[in-house]
Amino acid sequence: MKTENIEKIKKASKDLPEQWLLLFIVNAKEYLETNMAILKEVKKQEDIGGIYITLNRPYASLIKILEQNNIKTDNLFFLDCITKTVGAEKEQENCLFLESPQNLTQLAIAIDEIAKAMPMKNKFLFIDALSTLLIYNQAGTVAKFLHFITGKMRVLELKGVMLSIEKELDPKIAEHLEQFVDKVIDLSE
């Protein structure tokens, strides 16, 4: 990953409200590496817990990647929207396996319930690939969901990180998202 992108990640939440929402635009080639760098930076904060929504990788695969990147998963709860679609879930204490990325109502309810149940005051929501939602849902539906979920994050006092792959984000959704978040950080160059 480019040094300037690492610096952009480190500076992303500077000069923002305490409960910030960030949208990172990343290129496909560096997606995984960038994802891990952003998550590491967020987890550096003291006494922080998070909800990680995985839309691209099954929980079991993601856990291995996090371990390889020395990212501790204590204080992380996972909402896995992909494993059930391939029929491979095994019950986990820190993971809820949702039906599919198409069931946005189920996802919204799960976020709300888990965020309210987390004991720590400092919490975040990490959505690993907004562009994946567009594979399973129409652009208008995704835009409405993102408007709702960003509002909910603010009400629940969650910090927020959303990632999207540069060429896969619908331009109309990108325009809407820029209104909902505190900052857009383009790491796609």
Q: Summarize the confidence of residues 82-100 as an average pLDDT.
A: 86
- 127 near 161, Cβ under 8 Å? yes
- Each residue's pLDDT tens digit, 13-71: 888 888 899 999 998 888 999 999 999 999 988 789 999 999 989 999 999 999 999 99
Closest CA to 177 of 143, 126, 132: 143
Q: So what's the pLDDT on residue 1?
A: 65
Statement: residue 115 has pLDDT above 70:
yes
- Residue ranges of the domains in the chain? 19-187
Statement: residue 111 has pLDDT above 90:
yes
Vertex 61 angle, CA 58 and 63, to 5°: 105
Statement: residue 167 has pLDDT above 80:
no
DSSP codes joined into one string, 149-171: HHHHHHHTTEEEEEEEEGGGS-H
In our burial notation (b when 16+ CB lie closer than 10 A, e otherwise), range 87-105 reads eebeeeeebbbbebbbbbe
pTM: 0.93
Torsion 165-167-172-175 (CA) sign? positive
Taking every pair of Cα atoms in the chain, the longest distance, rounded to a whole number of angstroms, is: 44
Statement: residue 118 has pLDDT above 90:
yes
Q: What is the C-alpha separation between 134 and 113, in angstroms, rounded? A: 24
HSE-CB at 62 with a 13 A cutoff on CA atoms is 25
Q: Which fold has domain 19-187?
A: Rossmann fold (3.40.50)
Q: So what's the pLDDT on residue 9?
A: 87
